[in-house]
A and B are shown apart, each in its own frame.
Chain A
Amino acid sequence: MLDYITSYLGMNTTPGQAGNIFWAVVYILIVFGGVSVAVMAMNWLERKALAHFQIRLGPMRVGPHGLLQPIADAIKLMTKEDIIPEQADKFVFWIAPLIILCASFTVYIVIPFGPTHAITDMNIGILFMLGVSSLSVLGVVMAGWSSNSHYPLLGSLRSSAQMISYEIAMGLAVLSAVLMTSLNKSGTGTLSMIGIVEAQQQQHIWFAFKFFPLGFVALVIFAIAMVAETNRAPFDLPEAESELTAGFHTEYSGLRWSLFMLGEYAAMIAVSSIAVTLWLGGWMRPFPSTLTGETWDLVFSLIPGFLFLALALIAFIGVVRMPKHPYFRIQTMGLAGFAAVLGLIGLILFVPPVRERIQDIFWFIAKVAAFMYLYIWYRATFPRYRFDQLMRVGWKVLLPISIGVLIVTAILGVAF
């Protein structure tokens, strides 16, 4: 047994490919736990960043600067009464949030956080991701239909039409990136997520900058389609609060509603991960081929540690600036503890073995985080599209451009 566990450590591959079930389970637990924490962090960040866009403070009460707000929310949602409408189709109503949740969590199986930091790698990785993530539309339709109510029905109809329309533009954008992976001597491309990043490594360029501006246009198309795909502002019609009260999940409350939210945020992180993997070099650090050499490697490997130290410093400044009233004592202590934890993580990240192993994961998460911030930014800035306009953007703008990008990429690929 012990041999079975340790034998994987020598292998330079993912546990799924090595066929090591123990480590696969460990990886699954880490990834799913990590995603759940990331969803909570995202929840806090969204409320906080949105609040600052809108000149207000956001959550401030639960924990220092509202840091414990997501936990309080989770407790509130779990202890709420679980309401199932009398007229609802109970089984479908019950299973719909689970489908969305499963669909958005399953895609994490193939997301590569590093050359070996993935649960598994499939030769059809990107296809698998697109396929599974589009299953969530099934959950949306089921939720809207089973609620047996007008507003959820309208919301789910909108949502299914929207998700299907934008998937096409999304798929074509993805294809152009996949096409780029075949631009090597052997001429064979790959659909494997790890393979795609490795192709970018070999070609010494992120696909976002390949055949500039072609790759970049494809990335922009994908970035727009993925916002629509995850039903976020400005494409949040299915849950348009002011029109359809809450869209397909109007009748849901408590834990079931929180499953929808968990699924939505997990899907946001998942599609951002696809964008990062396909166009932004996945786990690679910035400038991997222009700023080469030992010194640059060292400089970039120190960034995570310094980042955490900087965060610790900000938290520490917060501690110093906290009012000296006894009322704030617990808050101050909490924030100080938070600063200490951040500082400690920063220091641990300087230890050479940790530093080298954390690199890939850090850069991957940093790039995904940039996309997540964009999501919040969109939400603060844009009004909502109307349904027909949304369809027009999808079919008449994004689709022709993505077909054009695909064709030109193919031509350029043959020419060079």
Chain B
Amino acid sequence: MTDPKAYLSHLELGEKDETFLDSNELIINMGPQHPATHGVLRVVLKLDGEKVLGAECVIGYLHRGVEKIAENRTYTMFNPYVDRMDYVAAVSNGLGYCEAVEKLLNIEAPARAKYIRVILTELNRLTSHQLWLGTHALDIGAMTPLFYTFRDREEILKIFEKYCGARLTTHAFRIGGCQYETYDGFERDVKKFIDEVPPKIDEYEELLTTNRIWVERTQGVGKISAADCKALGVTGPVLRASGVKWDLRKAQPYAAYSDFDFEIPTGVNGDTYDRYLVRMEEMRQSLRIIRQAVERIPEGPIMAKVPKVIKPPVGEIYHSIEAPKGELGYFIVSDGSTQPYRVRVRPPSFVNLQALDLMVRGQLVADVIAVIGTLDIVLGEVDR
């Protein structure tokens, strides 16, 4: 376990240089206790001076066996566990799971529940992108955006807290709808937030978008082509920044997304700067969706008719949603009992992380940090 070379399937050290300097390549461990690997990611880097010759991710430091746990829990009991995967976008995880089980049960959540789901999920997308922006900028050396984004993220977390009592791992939705009706003043709070936040997003942009150092650090860094993205299964903003207009909210609308009018921002170059711009624009589009949803939210029940004991018919289902980080899919196999036979999660972070080696090859050590940041991984979701 301690020998880094044990993992070096494709990172073999080169032949000894026959120069007087005898300069071998350097192999260093980045992580799992490193301030910029966003948790417990370990990257084994092969370096030639500062140049990266290859990178290999070693994951599993946060493995909790979420998928196995599911096999020993009822469908309802497993619901809170999914929040612990991508803990910065817990609402999205819950939405994906609830909708998958609903599909398996062949029921549909009522319209009002769907609208509440959309509002909370899009707010959650904002928190996820804000956290990404803050940490990504911090990795590249800009300290201040982190505090600005956390200030505004706080407002969203307050709305979550008022709605369901939790800030981070919300467990906001139930199979068949939502457990809670919106609190008094929910719409006012949300409207107030979406009125206040656009100038704050401009504020982040003011610090970064035209900052020469930021542009130099991100443009042309960690480039990935659309073809490579598709080959590796990379989804989400990373795919869109490479120029592919693929967003599950449009491609196969779930919840109430087909009712809303919004754009899918895409990039051209597929570099870190484009991914930054795409995510910034996604924040604005999310606000647009929330505004429409809050204005058009229908009255009615928030829970469909769901049996007390959930016993889906024998069968299997794959349902995926557009989580902030990419396609989040749930594959659930039911054997007709109260517990799922098998649950398999397709986490966007895990799949996107595969692209790391491709993106950092030939770049510098500092770019590895920028690329890890721009991939927007959450290790809870990578390791599950």
Q: Which residues of A contact B137 (CB under 8 A)?
A: 383
B36 contacts the other chain (CB 8 A): yes
* Min CB–CB distance A74 → chain B (angstroms): 24
Kindly report which residue of chain A lies nearest to residue B214, judged by CB atoms: A383
Spot the interface stretch: B77-85, B104-112, B364-372.
B364-372
A236 contacts the other chain (CB 8 A): yes
* Min CB–CB distance B4 → chain A (angstroms): 11
* Min CB–CB distance B125 → chain A (angstroms): 23
Q: In the bound complex, do residue B28 and residue A243 qualify as a contact, i.e. CB atoms below 8 Å apart?
A: no
Spot the interface stretch: A118-126, A172-180, A288-296, A384-392.
A384-392
* Min CB–CB distance A323 → chain B (angstroms): 24
Q: Which residues of A contact B161 (CB under 8 A)?
A: none
Q: In the bound complex, do residue B144 and residue A381 qualify as a contact, i.e. CB atoms below 8 Å apart?
A: yes
* Min CB–CB distance B145 → chain A (angstroms): 9
A68 contacts the other chain (CB 8 A): no
A259 to B28, CA, bound (A): 28
Contacts A151-B28, A386-B364; A242 near B141 (Cβ below 8 A): yes
Majority DSSP secondary structure for residues of A touching B = helix
How many A residues, CB 8 Å from partner? 30
Q: Restricting to B208-258, which residues have a CB under 8 Å from any CB of A?
A: 208, 211, 213-214, 216-217
Q: Restricting to A371-416, which residues have a CB under 8 Å from any CB of B?
A: 379-389
B147 contacts the other chain (CB 8 A): yes
Contacts A240-B366, A386-B364; A54 near B141 (Cβ below 8 A): no
5 contacts between A and B (CB under 8 A): A50-B143, A54-B146, A382-B141, A385-B216, A385-B217
Contact residues on B (Cβ < 8 Å of other chain), bracket: 20 to 34
Extra pairs beyond A383-B217, A384-B140 (7, CB < 8 Å):
A237-B366, A240-B141, A242-B140, A243-B365, A379-B143, A384-B142, A388-B50
Q: In the bound complex, do residue B147 and residue A383 qualify as a contact, i.e. CB atoms below 8 Å apart?
A: no
A56 to B137, CA, bound (A): 18
Q: Restricting to A49-79, which residues have a CB under 8 Å from any CB of B?
A: 50, 53-56
Across the interface, B141 reaches (CB within 8 A) one of A158, A236, A387, A388, namely A236
| 9 interchain residue pairs of minimum CB distance | A384-B141, A242-B36, A54-B147, A383-B142, A383-B141, A242-B139, A383-B140, A150-B28, A386-B366
Across the interface, A382 reaches (CB within 8 A) one of B26, B146, B213, B365, namely B213
Q: In the bound complex, do residue B147 and residue A55 qualify as a contact, i.e. CB atoms below 8 Å apart?
A: yes
Contacts A384-B213, A387-B50, A389-B216; A54 near B143 (Cβ below 8 A): yes
Q: In the bound complex, do residue A381 and residue B207 qualify as a contact, i.e. CB atoms below 8 Å apart?
A: yes
A365 contacts the other chain (CB 8 A): no
* Min CB–CB distance A173 → chain B (angstroms): 21
A244 to B139, CA, bound (A): 11
Q: Which residues of A contact B138 (CB under 8 A)?
A: 242
Q: In the bound complex, do residue A53 and residue B217 qualify as a contact, i.e. CB atoms below 8 Å apart?
A: no
Q: In the bound complex, do residue A56 and residue B365 qualify as a contact, i.e. CB atoms below 8 Å apart?
A: no
A74 to B58, CA, bound (A): 39
A384 to B365, CA, bound (A): 13
Kindly report which residue of chain A lies nearest to residue B368, judged by CB atoms: A243
* Min CB–CB distance A230 → chain B (angstroms): 16
Q: In the bound complex, do residue B50 and residue A154 qualify as a contact, i.e. CB atoms below 8 Å apart?
A: yes
Q: In the bound complex, do residue A233 and residue B28 qualify as a contact, i.e. CB atoms below 8 Å apart?
A: no
Q: Which residues of B contact A389 (CB under 8 A)?
A: 213, 216-217
* Min CB–CB distance B369 → chain A (angstroms): 5
* Min CB–CB distance B321 → chain A (angstroms): 31
